[in-house]
Structure 1
């Protein structure tokens, strides 16, 4: 599928809260895996201005180019698969035309030639199915930062809210306004420049 609507709920965690959720749900039986996001933007921040973000993710030795755009129910994600060679060209600031993402970028008024590689963020992730949702614990590393995060990915807003609130309540964790990974990455990049 080249497009999907992503409905997710996020909460930054202290390390102790991460450990608490890890114990509350059966995360001990789940394998830890690592994924790296490579982020792209124009010099004049055209994507960011439109609430959008562009990344390449390497996960399970597969490369996926993803454009995230605002959508009334969450985020519209548009995907294209990349070969190793194509991903490396993108990271070297030589982006290649890909059918689905390129079409969406064109609609946003973003030219492929204006995109620049910004850097990468690596996440150590555990995920499990829980009450009709996917619950994710992330430990992310970027620039000189690291953070911990709970994500609940759901088929509907009502189901996502229900499970997200239940986990926070059961673990006595306050709900925090949480920017997505790319915003946290941008903020760290701006502070490091």
Structure 2
């Protein structure tokens, strides 16, 4: 499927909170590593449209994903890339792909205006938990790292309730949590100014 609606909830964690959740629930002992490579235009056309564009590298597969706002979460549009195509994108040799190119074009964004901004690497553990996917992420980008809990649900109602239940169970404060690309941009902007 080239498109899907994603309903997810996020909460940044301290290292102690992360460890409490990790060691109290039956998460896999080994994390899977994935790297997100981020793209934007010089005038931040994607951000202005509430969108994000990335290539996710995981288990030697490469998926180009455009995330855009939707009534119930995010609309994700995907295209599979070969390793060679992913490298071309990272080297700013953009080649059109069936689904994402069409969505970008609908927003008036030209592939040739894109720039590669950098990457964020995540060590991820996933657990099916009370009808949701519960995820623990440790991410590094530039000289920054953070801990995060994500929850993906079939509905907003289930997602909100389960997230609150997990936060209460582990005595974790609800924190305003920007998504990974926003945290990446904030870190990059701060580092570019220094």
TM-score by length of 2: 0.97
What is residue 113 of structure 1 aligned with on the other side?
112
Superposed displacement of residue 30, structure 1: 4.5
- The DSSP-based 3-state class of the residue aligned with 1:147 is strand
What is residue 60 of structure 2 aligned with on the other side?
61
- The DSSP-based 3-state class of the residue aligned with 2:116 is strand
Distance 2:29 2:134 in 1: 11
Unmatched 5+ residue regions in structure 2? none
Q: Do residues 190 (structure 1) and 189 (structure 2) align? A: yes
What is residue 15 of structure 1 aligned with on the other side?
15
Alignment of 1:21-170 (within 5 A): 21-27=21-27, 29-170=28-169
- The DSSP-based 3-state class of the residue aligned with 1:48 is helix
Alignment check: 8 A CA contact 1:30 1:127 kept: no
CA RMSD across the alignment? 0.7
Q: After TM superposition, where is structure 1 displaced by more than 2 Å over at least 4 residues in a row?
A: none
Distance 1:30 1:154 in 2: 23
Distance 1:61 1:76 in 2: 24
Distance 1:107 1:150 in 2: 33
Q: For each residue in 1:29-75, what CA deviation from the matched residue of structure 2 results, as whole angstroms up to 9, or x when unmatched?
A: 45311000000000000000111000000011110000000001000
Distance 2:93 2:40 in 1: 13
TM-score by length of 1: 0.98
